[in-house]
Amino acid sequence: MKKSIYNILKGTFLVSDDSFKNWRFIIFISVLAIVMIASSHSADKKVYEIARLKNEVKEMRSAFVDGRSRLMKLKMESRVIRKMKEKGMAPSVIPPKKIKVKSKK
């Protein structure tokens, strides 16, 4: 037991006659570790992108709601009348009449 631990610490398993199997395993583990690290970085990048897009959606939604409320205020009849008075126009005092068109069938 002591001798095997001592051999591992000295690294004799890497230079012995059957070390080819050990080197293959070490290289395999190293490649797996590199793939795992790359996958982790990719996942982190996607998480940051999702968070950025969520913030952008919130900003756009609030801009949409703000624009819609300003539009509603601009469309109010009292505001339209006030703007038209500034330009010298006034609402008609005569109520509108329906025009009926009869087809020639």
CB atoms within 10 A of CB 26: 13
Assigned domain for 101 exists:
no
Assigned domain for 49 exists:
yes
Assigned domain for 42 exists:
yes
Segment 66-84, tens digit of pLDDT: 999 999 998 998 888 888 8
Assigned domain for 102 exists:
no
Assigned domain for 71 exists:
yes
Segment 9-63, tens digit of pLDDT: 777 777 777 777 778 888 999 999 999 999 999 999 999 999 999 999 999 999 9
- 31: domain range? 2-86
Assigned domain for 46 exists:
yes
Report the predicted TM-score, pTM, of the whole model to 2 decimal places: 0.55
Assigned domain for 94 exists:
no
Span 91-102, average pLDDT = 88
Q: Environment class of residue 13 by beta-carbon count within 10 Å: exposed (0-12), middle (13-18) or buried (19+)?
A: middle
- If one counts the domains in the chain, the total is 1
